[in-house]
Structure 1
Amino acid sequence: MEIRLSSFKKNYGLEQLLSKDESTYWYTDGSLPHYIEISFRKRTYVEYVQILFSFSKDDSYTPDYFEVLVGDTKDTLQKYKSITMVEPEGYTLVNINLHCVYIYINILRNCQEGRDSHVRHLIVNTQQPRDMQCK
């Protein structure tokens, strides 16, 4: 799995986004939209993505509207979900439950019309649920 960010301020990039330390975060650098591009070497089952937001800590830097696009090539990406939040606090769960090569998370708006975004953590779960058998 490879993850790319649209932009980031020095010392506020991918390492901070993937850190389990919730005091660290990805801090974008530039105008909206901002994006997280997740890609796999081959079609991979993605169960869900979780994204941590904290309005109480980040105020106008907190995203409140984003879209998730999925596809097998960059040219075939399709909008899968649109998510609107009100002053989000905690993890936002995005169920994917698909095989794909690319996932784009496009941040299109922040709370209070903020320009840059803070995202505190990203989890991508690629484990396919095992078939359960009752005996």
Structure 2
Amino acid sequence: MGFYDIDDLRHKVDVGSRLGTRWSLSTSKPGHGVAALRDDDLERVWQSDGTQPHLVNIQFARRTALTHISIYLDHQRDDSYTPQVISVRAGTHYHDLVEVRKRTFNQPQGWRHFDLAKTDLSRDEEASDHEDSTSEAGSTQHKRASGGHRGEVIHANLVQLAVLHNHLSGKDTHVRGLKVWGPAPTARQPAPTTQKADAASLLRMLEADDDADEAADAPEPARAGLVDPLMERAMRMMR
């Protein structure tokens, strides 16, 4: 599935930027909060200002399908501020969050990814950097190594990223970028508004005046046999 290829943006969308999504942090230094974390400028950084764990909360306006979380870490510049152990939790609200991923990093440099495929949730911790592959070949090798195709995406109203431990036991943390990805809508799954618009158009066509040449010449039973199934189909689409 294309939406499990990290670099293939044709099959995924940044669901963290959707209207109504709320971001919050456990703590932050002035000028180094949510805006800095979400900025595409990797020179900007979220810096926590408190005790661990350091939390990022992403609350969606509705139940949302999720495929990946991508985080940008820079050990070369951030040293002991760099996260070493990160947990990803998901649920409907704060009271029912469940850990779905946990990774330990060794001096990470660049984007690191958390695969949220449902079939892999039994793993306690990511033991390798397969998910950080930047090629389709790497993605294919990981599928083969894990026994086949990836499973279904997970759905959640709330996602929480928790920095549990920093390199060199650092107190506060630095994160330079964070993206939350979900599958893009497909042509086989039209948006409800588009489907209803098509149904309304069909109804208008069926309710058009009956003085067209072919309709006027057709016997009444034949016309009824043609229109009734179309009307039923349009009404089903409108529901």
TM over 0.5, shorter chain: yes
Normalised to the residue count of structure 2, the TM-score between the two structures is 0.53
SS at the partner of 1:126? strand
Q: What is the aligned partner in structure 1 of residue 173 from structure 2?
A: 117
Aligned: 1:74 with 2:94: yes
- Bigger Cα Rg: 2
Which residue identity lines up with residue 77 of structure 1 in the other structure? Answer: L
Aligned: 1:63 with 2:89: no
CA contact (8 A) 1:45 1:128 kept: no
Identical counterparts, % of pairs? 30
Which residue identity lines up with residue 56 of structure 1 in the other structure? Answer: Q
Normalised to the residue count of structure 1, the TM-score between the two structures is 0.92
Q: Gaps (5+ residues) in structure 2?
A: 1-20, 117-152, 189-239
Q: Gaps (5+ residues) in structure 1?
A: none
Which residue identity lines up with residue 40 of structure 1 in the other structure? Answer: F
Runs of 4+ deviating beyond 2 Å: 126-132
Mapping for residues 35-74 of structure 1, pairs under 5 Å: 35-74=55-94
Which residue identity lines up with residue 125 of structure 1 in the other structure? Answer: W
Q: Distance in 2 between matches of 1:6 and 1:14?
A: 11
Which residue identity lines up with residue 53 of structure 2 in the other structure? Answer: P
Q: 1:27 aligns with which of 47, 51, 72?
A: 47
Which residue identity lines up with residue 12 of structure 1 in the other structure? Answer: H
Q: What is the aligned partner in structure 1 of residue 27 from structure 2?
A: 7
Q: What is the aligned partner in structure 2 of residue 108 from structure 1?
A: 164
Higher strand share goes to which structure?
A: 1
Higher helix share goes to which structure?
A: 2
Shift of 1:129: 6.3
SS at the partner of 1:106? strand
Q: Distance in 1 between matches of 2:112 and 2:187?
A: 26
